[in-house]
Amino acid sequence: MTANTSDVSSAPSLFSPVSLGKIELANRIVMAPMTRVRAGSSGIPGDLMVGYYRQRASVGLIIAEGTYPNHASQAYVGEPGIATDEQAAGWQRVFEAVHAEGGRIVLQIMHAGRGTHPDINGGRRILAPSAIAIDNKTFTEKGEQPYPVPEAMTTADIRAAVEDFVAAARRAIEAGADGVEIHGANGYLLQEFLSPAANQRTDEYGGSPHNRARFVVEVVTAIAQAVGAERVGLRISPEVDLGDVFETDRDDVLATYGTLLDQLRPLGLAYLSVLHPEPGGDLVQELRRRFDGKLIVNNSFASQTTREEALEQIEAGHADAVVVGRALIANPDLVERWQGGHPENEPRPELFYGQGAEGYTDYPFHEAA
């Protein structure tokens, strides 16, 4: 039990407002960042993406999908970027559309690390803490191919990556985002540094939990200094083994994420987002204490988040807001449906990653359902 669960009777409801740093949410349903690969080869959000996010503006906060800070870090064909002014201008249209509907939106900045391929990132260098490949395949322009062995980053590469993260965050805020979320989850570059399996470095960025946390501390601190901590969130997914991070030792996980959050706590970030199968369990609630700020949670991929689970997370005091993914793909007006207990559309997973409006902006609203 935590201090936060001591008085359930006064617990807020899923439909009550909350502030995450400078960002004021009308309700506690947060749209999960979800890659939908509809930005074409330019990586510039167009009308289709503007319409998709506008449809979903009634959530308390939209976390827009994983977006690459530089071209080398693109993880998927069709993924949007925030590496250029043209891409930022596309995002500006998305942010304006969401704001015009009274919504709030932050942009997730995602560096693929070793989770990409030359036929995705235009033949650029593939960088990771160590020269160890993911033992799996990825979808490229030329079909499915094995992940390549990445280059171990030099200190200069690390400095350049931090600078690119900062430049991307600045571009997002200048384009009108309410904030940025740094993607430290799901096996991409930041979690690769945290992972004792993916990070085999012998310099100050590898080895001990403190050293493995160093790169993430540097990225988050630099972005917070550049755009203001109260506009910056961080997503982590301890123990969720995507991309061969193999965080299987609970003591090491606690030591690594514990030192990370001890170092981030003084910054006063807008929020910490944790993806974990047990948001109310010991690990997540211990990390919440170490962070000592607003916590938003998602109970991972095994099954789609339901209305009952979301209500329970808030009523039990496990988190300040709930991050909801697939139900929001299928129900643009999910807040209204969950508030009224109305039936829901079922998602069509075969269209999650695709190219057009089908399975993207054509899910009916409740009135029309």
Interface ranges with ligand FMN (CB under 6 A): 32-35, 65-66, 108, 183, 185-186, 235, 275, 298, 300-301, 304-305, 324-327, 352
Q: Which residues are catalytic?
A: 188
Q: State both tokens at 350.
A: 């075969």
Helix H or strand E encompassing 170: helix 155-174
Angle, vertex CA 324, rays to CA 179 and CA 219, nearest 5: 35
Beta bridge partners of 184: 236
> Which residue has tokens 């929020």?
271
Q: State both tokens at 169.
A: 């965050």
Angle, vertex CA 202, rays to CA 196 and CA 208, nearest 5: 45
> Minimum Å distance from CB 297 to ligand FMN?
10
Residues 6+ apart with CB under 8 A from 156: none
> Minimum Å distance from CB 147 to ligand FMN?
17
Q: How far is CA 214 from CA 181, 209, 227, 266, 275, in A?
A: 18, 9, 20, 15, 21
Could you give the 3-state DSSP secondary structure of residue 247? coil
DSSP state of 68: B
Closest CA to 137 of 122, 157, 116, 156: 116
CA dihedral (261, 265, 269, 273) positive or negative: positive
Q: Give DSSP secondary structure letters for 273-297.
A: EEE-S-TTSHHHHHHHHHH-S-EEE
**Cβ proximity to ligand FMN, 173 vs 274, nearer residue:** 274
**Cβ proximity to ligand FMN, 206 vs 325, nearer residue:** 325
> Minimum Å distance from CB 350 to ligand FMN?
11
> Minimum Å distance from CB 308 to ligand FMN?
13
In this chain, which residue has its C-beta nearest to ligand FMN? 325
> Minimum Å distance from CB 65 to ligand FMN?
5
**Cβ proximity to ligand FMN, 84 vs 304, nearer residue:** 304
